[in-house]
Amino acid sequence: MAIDPKNVLRLNMPQWQGSDRPDYRIGGRVLAAIAPDPQGPQETVPVPTSTGESRPVEGGITSRHALLEQIAMARAAIKRHAPEAIVTLGGDCHVSLAPFAWLNERYGDDLAILWVDAHPDIMGPEQMSNAHAHVLAMLMDEAASDFTDVVPRKIDPKNILYVGLTETTPYETGFVQKHGITRLSPEELAGSPAKVLEWVRSNGAKKIAVHFDVDVLDPTLYDFLLFNDPSLAPGAFDGVAKGRMLFEEVAGILNAVNAETDIVGLTIAEFTPWNVIDLSRSLRALPLLC
Amino acid sequence: MAIDPKNVLRLNMPQWQGSDRPDYRIGGRVLAAIAPDPQGPQETVPVPTSTGESRPVEGGITSRHALLEQIAMARAAIKRHAPEAIVTLGGDCHVSLAPFAWLNERYGDDLAILWVDAHPDIMGPEQMSNAHAHVLAMLMDEAASDFTDVVPRKIDPKNILYVGLTETTPYETGFVQKHGITRLSPEELAGSPAKVLEWVRSNGAKKIAVHFDVDVLDPTLYDFLLFNDPSLAPGAFDGVAKGRMLFEEVAGILNAVNAETDIVGLTIAEFTPWNVIDLSRSLRALPLLC
């Protein structure tokens, strides 16, 4: 790999406001705690806990003001270091906005995006008020200007590949088709990096940014996924598309891609280790700790 | 509670060298990530990862030099703040040495210790080379001078109560008896704070330091205990005393004690959330992250 680990920015961003699920804050903090120690600079975007106060929907987006504040802090942190590459540890999927915008500005048409996710993340306020489902549309400049202002160069849909995308809604299917974005389902991938490598070679980009939403993984095999929230009733996520991949398949694809290109962006998002989230609640019952 | 949260030092100490189990470092980092945000100062003792190098036994103690270095850093961190109270998040049980020594120096005979642990932690090098099993003996000045040098005032055994202690070895039983330390088994506690309160009232101390080794909990009910290490063969811990308490019982005791006194020290130690430790290994397979 041609990227010097000392020039990789580790961006910790335990944002939950994009999904309106406060548990993503703890998940993000845990992810930062278990990740290998960074060898380059590290920045942590301060993300307030949920205080139980109202999270207002403004212009169709929940916690719009908090999100814009956090994006601005992430962008400032990135600019302070002007890194060659960025590892972003979320938090919810919205955390990719600032780092991917910056990488696209830096690398231009030499950058391609692998969006490794069970969902396409191209909705707008009319489809859903949680902006974590909008983030790729924002990066394509398909959103309100207060969000796209941090995207100086929009991502060209021909430079986007969906990896592991499952069932999409009619709106999502239409958007993906209209923009001509290539999509590979878990079954099309068939556990091999071959089709991803084929797309990358055909695209020609030599720098790759990877958005890895862990919900692309099979929720029957991995306990740390939203769909396994023990506080919710069985069936709470009926009708929501779920992932069908293995962690090893994702790792295999990324390593195969990295052998032919430079991975310059890696986001890991939407990690919810329920057993430690549960313990975090128990800890609040201890004296002195609160 | 009379302790101002702003005067409580949060001491993160993901030490593993006292147990010679590197996984305690990740456990300690996760514990710090899931704990409620501190309202006072926070210090993190830098603890190197295991590099696979030899961990030499010197004077009967594994990683003696590393432990002494970390104790010195913890002591310096505590002195910088001179807090009213200290929350210490381990790491292994050895992390209580510096904060408890400091609290005992500060509060003198007005301090009592609740050692909430399946094990008494009073061994010496002849019984075991892992110093996490020595820490309470060190606090009683029953150890080599390089460790007891950080204990300016030794803890009087009459000010120690074992809470949840289970089966002890003949050496441990003899030590506990010889020093006249009171012990309460899970069955003697019977799920109630009554006997602990009785002891605290009889002792008369108004300041309490609590060492909470999570291995006092029942390993059949809590997955985050050493005894549930999935990498070890079944039976690997046969013959080792195991806890039999519930988290709610421990919390109930501590809150009842805190209602009559001030808890001024709380250590949580030996936390090993195996599913996220396992994921931390998987993350090392991803490009850019390492």
Q: pLDDT per residue over B138-155, tens digit each?
A: 999 999 999 999 999 999
Q: Which residue shows structure tokens 């549960």?
A: A278
Task: Provide the number of CB pairs (under 8 Å) joining chain A to chain B.
Answer: 126
Average pLDDT across chain B, whole number:
96
Put simply, whether A85 touches B (Cβ < 8 Å) is yes
CB interface of B with A, residues 126-165, below 8 Å: none
pLDDT, residue A1, reads 52
Please check the confidence at residue B255 and state whether its pLDDT lies above 90.
Answer: yes
Put simply, whether A275 touches B (Cβ < 8 Å) is yes
- Rounded to the nearest angstrom, the minimum Cα separation between A286 and chain B is 6
pLDDT, residue A120, reads 98
User: Taking CA atoms, what residue in B is nearest to A35?
Assistant: B280
Using the Cα atoms of residue B272, residue B276, residue B279 and residue B280 in order, give the sign of their dihedral. Answer: negative
Q: Are A232 and A23 in contact (CB under 8 A)?
A: no
ipTM of the complex: 0.95
Nearest to B286 among A37, A251, A283 (CB): A251
- Rounded to the nearest angstrom, the minimum Cα separation between B205 and chain A is 17
Note if the bond before B239 is cis, omega within 30 degrees. no
pLDDT, residue A53, reads 75
CB interface of A with B, residues 9-48, below 8 Å: 26, 29-30, 32-37
Helix A274-283 vs helix B23-34: crossing angle, to nearest 10: 60
CA distances from A235 to A224, A239, A240, B106 (A): 17, 9, 10, 55
Beta-sheet pairing, A42-44 with B8-13:
unpaired
Give phi and psi for B55, each to the nearest 5.
-110, 90
What is the CATH number that goes with domain A8-48+58-282? 3.40.800.10
Q: How confident is the model at residue B206 (pLDDT cuts 50, 70, 90)?
A: very high
- The helix (run of H) or strand (run of E) holding residue A269 is strand A262-269
Contact B3 A29 (CB under 8 A): no
Q: How confident is the model at residue B233 (pLDDT cuts 50, 70, 90)?
A: very high
Q: How confident is the model at residue B1 (pLDDT cuts 50, 70, 90)?
A: low
pLDDT, residue B53, reads 75
C-alpha to C-alpha distance for B222 and B212, rounded to whole angstroms: 15
Contact A3 B36 (CB under 8 A): no
Please write the tens of the pLDDT for every residue from B112-123.
999 999 999 999
Please give the share of chain B, as a percent, with pLDDT higher than 90.
96
Contact B266 A286 (CB under 8 A): yes
- Helix, strand counts (H, E) of chain A: 10, 10
Please check the confidence at residue B52 and state whether its pLDDT lies above 90.
Answer: no
Residues 6+ apart with CB under 8 A from A10: A35, A38, A40, A41, A42, A43, A87, A89
CA distances from A194 to A188, A198, A220, B153 (A): 10, 6, 26, 67
Contact B87 A288 (CB under 8 A): yes
Nearest to A288 among B85, B247, B273 (CB): B85
Low-confidence ranges of chain A (pLDDT < 70): 1
